[in-house]
Each structure stands twice: as structure tokens, then as C-alpha cells.
Structure 1
Amino acid sequence: MVNPTPESRYRSNLQGEVDSSALYRALAEVEGDSRLAKIFARLAAIEDAHVAFWQAKLAKAGLPVSIPKPSPRTRLLTWLARRMGVSFVLPTVNALEQADIGSYDNQPEAVAGRLPAAERSHARIVQAIAQQSSGSAGLSGSALANLEGRHRAMGGNALRAAVLGANDGLVSNLSLVMAIAGAMADRHVILLTGAAGLVAGACSMAMGEWLSVNSSRELYQRQIATEAEELSQSPDEEREELILIYQAKGLGEAEARELAGRMMANTQTALDTLVREELGIDPESLGGSAWSAAITSFGLFGLGAIFPILPYCFLDGVPALLGSLGASGAALCGIGAGTALFTGRSFLFSATRQLLIGFAAAGLTFGIGRLVGVSLGG
């Protein structure tokens, strides 16, 4: 892929900022809620400053400077907003903002001008307005559920991870064992294959979990460090962004300013608040150990994977096959019942569904094993 020239990049950025400015200004004119109209107007003013930023870059590079017209997409969204209302186009505007969050991250000039932080802030503000417009009064459904005590996020997530980890081990190893059994292999071959599948799958899951936790933590830490630098360099700008976010969530301007002022009074509190509100990161979620997650994942996968091979330690032939299916079926029903704890479905339905899905996978691989075994044996 050919890297764009500085001129083409500057002009592309300028076009994007012109589009954003025109769109927010149109939303401010159409919006019937004066509070939200003021927020859109302030967003438009910030985008105007970004337009001037890229104009200055073009001028400094000795390139012709002109203001482009809004793009056809922006003109269409503006037309729709004026005729159908802000709420009609807001989901699209929100999606566009979310897609543009990282557009400036690898552009040195934009980073120096602190534009990436502004784009992230705008995305959070528009997202909050979109959530409010959808009827959640500035709070997402998950947030409302947490406030009402119905979601039990911490316990639910831990239980979900445990159930799904064990399910991965059970279904994958049951399918593997049934494939080898279908090929009419010796008991020792089935045992060796099942044990190898258990260890290999558990190691893969553990490594994946370790990489996932570490990568997420490193990404979040880099974003938090960037936010801390922006807070130290431009505290007034960060305060204004926080005010806009609180207003977008439903607070009046005076209340938003008072709350933002209290949050900004302490540097650490201000950083924690900005990280949560602008970046959507919970600093407390960074404390987990990658090794603990990996070991837990290894153990859960292994726990599920041991059921299909356990009967082959004591039995042979058809009794071992039936024992493997029986032990795995009981475990599948248990996992299905476990999923009912966080899905809200009945235990019977969840257990039956899990059993049918697991046995369908086992039946498929058993059939493949039988066909391949007969073919090779013939």
C-alpha cells in the first residue's frame, strides 16, 4: 500500500473536519432541545478549530489553502436531519465517530496538536447523546441494569468464563475422541489421542488468554498514559470535554460544570474520571494477572476435556464408548444448566440444548472417523 503524501493527507483531514463542522452545526440548528443544541454547537466550534489547524499545516508546507465544500454524504445527512430530525441521523453520526476514533493516532502532526484525544472525546459525547436519544436517559441498558441490581456483572462474567471454558474443552475433546473411536481404533490410541487433545487444547487456551489479557492491559496503559499527558498539558480543555460529556448524559450546564470542577480538583480523581468517561476504560479492570487468567483457562479447559476420556481408563470397546458418551452427556447437561444462570432460560431447556449440540458434534466426527477408518482399512 502506497503511503499518502503529506498534501493528500492534510487535505483528507481538512475535508473530514469540514464535514464534521458542517454536520454538527446543522444538528445544532435542528435540535429542539436547547441543551443538546449547545453541545452540538460547541462540537462544531471545536471542529472549526481543527479546520484551521489543517489549513495552517497546508500553508506552512507552502501548499494552496482553500476550504472544501462538505462531502455528498455530509450534505445528505444534513438534508435528512433537517427533514427527519436529529434522532433519525444520530445513529449514523455515532457510527461514523466511532469509526474515526483512531484516525489520527499515527499522524505525528495530529498527535502534537492533541487531535486524537479530541476525536475520542467527541466519540464519547456523541455516543452518550445517542444513548439518551434511544430512550435510556443518558445511560446504557447495561448501566441501568447494574443500578437496578439485575445484572450482577462481576459474578456473571466470571461464571460465564468458567462455563464456556469447560464447554470448549468438553465439546472439542468429545468430538476428537468420537472421531478416533469411529475409526475403530484401539483403546490405548483413543486414550493417547484424548490426552494429547486435552493438553494441546488447554495450552492453546491458556496462551490465548495470557496474550489477550496482556495485550489489553498494554493498550489501556498506553491510552491512560496519553490521557495523563493531555491532562497535565491542557487541563482546561479536558475540563471542557468532561463538561460536554456530562451535559450529553443529561446534566444541566451548571451541574455539569460543578461536577467537572469537583472531579478536576484532584489530579488522580480527574485522570480516573477522564479515563472512564472519555476512553470508556475502567482502571480497576487492569489489575488482573495474565498468569492467573492463563492458569484458570488451562484448568477449566482440562476439566471439561477429561470427561470423554475418563471411561477409557477403565473400560474398552462399546462399554467405554457408551461410558464416554454418558459422562460427557452428564457434563454437557451440567454446563447447560450453568448457562441458564446468566441467560435466564430454564435449566431444562439450556441443558437439553447443550446436550443436543454436543452430541451433534460428536455424531458428526464419529461418522467422519468411521468413513475414514473404513477407507484406510480397506
Structure 2
Amino acid sequence: MEAHHVEHRDVTGGGARAAVFGASDGLLTNVALILGVLGASHAGHTVLLTGIAGLVAGAFSMGIGEYVSMRAQRELLERELDVERTEIRHRPEAETLELQQLYEQRGVPSDLAAAVAGYLMRDPDVALRIHAQEELGVAPEATGSPVQAALASFALFSLGAAVPLVPWIFTQGTLATGLSIGLAGLAALGLGGALGALSARPVVSSALRQLALAALAAAVTFGIGHLVGATVT
């Protein structure tokens, strides 16, 4: 019987996560911001400038924030890997016993656990990989890419934020409002459906959930903007 191997996508690098959250945040943030300002003021140029400012500020905030957080996480993991590498080099017996005990806790018989641990510890690179996966839950080469995560977050936030903003570049008033809401709704449905498909979840329910969240954010900010605008006026 031949071994059956299933290829899995790399979901540990940080780029996919940042892209998903970037697109969703960009869409939700800017449609809420645009409609919030629209509720307070119907001046088309004000809405346009606010949307552009929201896109630029949000994209840089998301990108830089993602870079900083991923960089800190990576440095912490690399520090722990260095500690583990030093322990394997200078205290191999203790690390072998530690690995043996980990397998025993998972139900492996003591003799077999000792044999497997001893075999794996013969190669320092293999030993580091096993200890990192067992103790830290990460492979040494899969600590994530801060640059990849930052670029993905920046680009996808910008793309999501641009969707409700585009109509205001070409038109104003009721037409721009309707197009902005319609495009944002379609984008929310598409994003939710894509997330459902990628994660093997029901596509329709994922799409409707994303649409409901976008509608809630837009309605609340529009209402607040309308109240603030009426009060200021």
C-alpha cells in the first residue's frame, strides 16, 4: 500500500492572515467612515477627502502594526529557539529525557519513547525541529515574515478601503451614496463567501455574516454622524 500524502497550504507565514484581515478591515473601516461623515455632512468633497484620509492612514497603520507585531513575535520565537539549540548542544541527556517524557505523556510506552527520543536526538537539526514543534508549537523555519505580513496587510486594506470610495471620485450625492453602499455590500458578500470557501465553511452563511457586520458598522456610524451633524448645526 502506497502512502497517501495530502498537500497543505502554508498558513503559518502571516501573509494570508494579514491579507484576510486587511481586506475586511479596509472595507468595514472606510464604508463606516464614509457613511458616518455622510450622515453629518452631504458635501461630496468632504466625504471624498475623508475616505482618502481613511484609506491612507488605515493602510499605513495596518501595515506598520502588522510588521511590528510579527517582528516582535519572530524575535521572541528566535530567542526561544536559540535557548533550545544551546540546551541540545550542552545538555543532550536532559533534552533526550525531556523528549521521552513528552511521548510518555501521550501514551507511548516508556521503552519505545526512550528509543524514539534517543534516535531523534542523534541529529541536532532534527532534535531542534522536534523540540520546537513539541514545546513551542512552531517549526524553526516557520517563524513568519514581518515584511510579507506588512505588505499584504497594507495592500489588502487599501483595496478594501477603495471599494466604497471609488464612486465619490467620479460622482456625488445620491448616486455616489447608492453606488458606494452597493459596491460595499457586494464586496462584503464576495469577501465573506471567499473566506467560507477557503476555510471549507458554508459559503452563503459566511457571505451573509460579513454583509451583516458591514451593514451594522455602516448603520451605527451613519446614525452617530447624523446626530453629531444635527447637534453641531
Calculate the TM-score normalised by the size of structure 2.
Answer: 0.90
Q: 1:312 to 1:361 in 2, by over 3 A?
A: same
Q: How does 1:207-356 map to 2 (within 5 A)?
A: 207-286=64-143, 288-356=144-212
**Contact 2:59–2:153 (8 Å) recurs in 1:** yes
- Indicate if the aligned counterparts of 1:160 and 1:339 stay in contact, CA closer than 8 A: no
**Radius of gyration: which is bigger?**
1
- Specify the code of the residue in structure 2 equivalent to 1:312: W
The match for 1:205 among 62, 72, 75 is: 62
Contact 1:160 1:342 (8 Å CA) reproduced: no
Shift of 1:249: 2.0
Aligned twin of 1:72: none
Runs of 4 or more consecutive aligned structure 1 residues displaced over 3 Å after TM superposition: 155-161, 342-345
Equivalent-residue separation in structure 2 for 1:327 and 1:206 (angstroms): 24
1:171 to 2:18 alignment: no
- The letter for the 2-side match of 1:321 is T
SS in 2 for 1:185: coil
Cα distance in 2, alignment partners of residues 227 and 360 from structure 1: 48
For 2:21 and 2:36, locate their aligned partners in 1 and report how far apart those are by CA, in whole Å. 22
Q: What is the CA–CA distance in structure 2 between the aligned matches of 1:326 and 1:227, rounded to whole Å?
A: 54
Displacement after TM superposition at 1:339 (Å): 2.2
Relative contact order: is structure 1 or structure 2 higher (C-alpha 8 Å, sep ≥ 6)? 2
Q: How many residues were matched structurally?
A: 229
What does the per-residue CA deviation read over 1:186-243, in whole Å, with 9 as the maximum and x for residues that have no partner?
1111111001101111111111110111111111111111112222221111111111
TM-score (norm 1): 0.57
The aligned residue for residue 125 of structure 1 is none
Over aligned residue pairs, what C-alpha RMSD do you find? Answer: 2.2
Structure 2: runs of 5 or more not aligned: none
Task: Give the alignment partner of residue 185 of structure 1, picking from 42, 50, 60.
Answer: 42
SS at match of 1:367: helix
Write the distance in 2 (CA, Å) between the matches of 1:259 and 1:208. 42
One-letter identity of the residue aligned with 1:264: M
In the alignment, the residues of structure 2 paired with residue 345 and residue 275 of structure 1 have an alpha-carbon distance, to the nearest angstrom, of 31
After TM superposition, the structure 1 = structure 2 runs for residues 91-130 of structure 1, keeping only pairs within 5 Å, are: none
